Amino acid sequence: MRRTRSELSRRTVLASVASLAGIAGLGFSPARAAGPVLTRPIPTSGETVPAVGMGTWITFNVGENTALRDERVEVLKTFFDLGGTMVDSSPMYGSAEAVIGYCLERVPDPQRLFSATKVWNWRQGAGRAQMADSRRLWGVERFDLMQIHNLLGWEGHMETLKADKAAGRVRHIGITTSHGRRHGDFAAIMETQPLDFVQFTYNILDREAERRLLPLAAERGLAVIINRPFRRGELFDRFERHPLPAWAAEFDCANWAQFFLKFVIAHPAVTCVIPATSRVDHMRENMGALHGRLPDQAIRQRMVAYVEGL
């Protein structure tokens, strides 16, 4: 298995160092390039994760094509080099989990990984088999985070995940949704189940989560992963041809990607955002959001007004 006990211990030590930095009020952990990166604590475990992770829907679903797989190796390598740890996937994403496994075998530092995937099946028994398959595809002994994808068959999977966590077969558990779907059901589960993480959509145009899910996550002490921060790329199509406002420099924002990502991670309830990309240059832009100042609440409102006025 790829993740040996000593690798896990090393990661725990690194996490402790990072969390000590957080306790000291720094909230940063070391990266190999460009200095320390912004990290956030997972409230239930105290471990920290960098505030930008990586999604894999579509971008890592490249099948058996070796040239495309090798391009994704470079994307993942760049992600780790720039301080990233959390990779999010799902059995719903075609070949993405197999491609992640291929990439992890080829990056020099795979123990940086915080592995997050999902169970996506109506039936509890089939869900167990699916999670075992995901471990095999990624090449990990256990996942750092297992999420119930879009609440599919959630009652049965919740039983499995609670037992798995108690037995140490998974480290954190959570639920996901996207596109603003089923927020009522989602909130009810947040209120009653012993979750570590929740994942949902939030971006500068889709702000429904501000009403209930983000405040509830803060109240319940849950880590929050944000998906679709670029609205699946649509934000670039709509706004990229316009100039960034000059005041974006006030929060160290060099491009539109950082504008969109810093908007998300500056929300106090957000732990981590998971943009997806197939490109190394885009990965570099995205990971730049882990550096420099963040916008405060007044500036975030100005950011919304600016894009809505374009």
Point out which residues pair with 272 in neighbouring strands.
225
**Does 278 interact with ligand NAP (rule: CB under 6 A)?**
yes
* Choice between 19 and 258, CB closer to ligand NAP: 258
Q: How far apart are CA 39 and CA 87, in angstroms?
A: 15
Window 218 to 257, contacts with ligand NAP (CB under 6 A) = 227-233, 236, 257
Phi/psi class of residue 153: alpha, beta or left (left: φ > 0; alpha: ψ in -120 to 50)? Answer: left
What's the one-letter identity of residue 164?
D
Among 74, 208, 252, 285, binds ligand NAP (CB under 6 A): 285
Window 56 to 95, contacts with ligand NAP (CB under 6 A) = 56-57, 59, 88
**Does 171 interact with ligand NAP (rule: CB under 6 A)?**
no
* Choice between 10 and 242, CB closer to ligand NAP: 242
Nearest by Cα to 54 from 263, 264, 293, 229: 229
* Choice between 18 and 270, CB closer to ligand NAP: 270
Residues touching ligand NAP, count (CB under 6 A): 29
The pairing of strands 170-176 and 197-201 is parallel
Alpha helix segments (H runs only) across the chain: 5-23, 66-81, 96-104, 124-138, 154-166, 183-192, 213-220, 234-239, 256-265, 280-287, 297-308
CB of 163 to ligand NAP, least distance (A): 22
Point out which residues pair with 198 in neighbouring strands.
175, 224
* Choice between 135 and 228, CB closer to ligand NAP: 228
Binding residues for ligand NAP, rule: CB under 6 A, are 55-57, 59, 88, 149-150, 176-178, 199, 227-233, 236, 257, 274-279, 282, 285-286
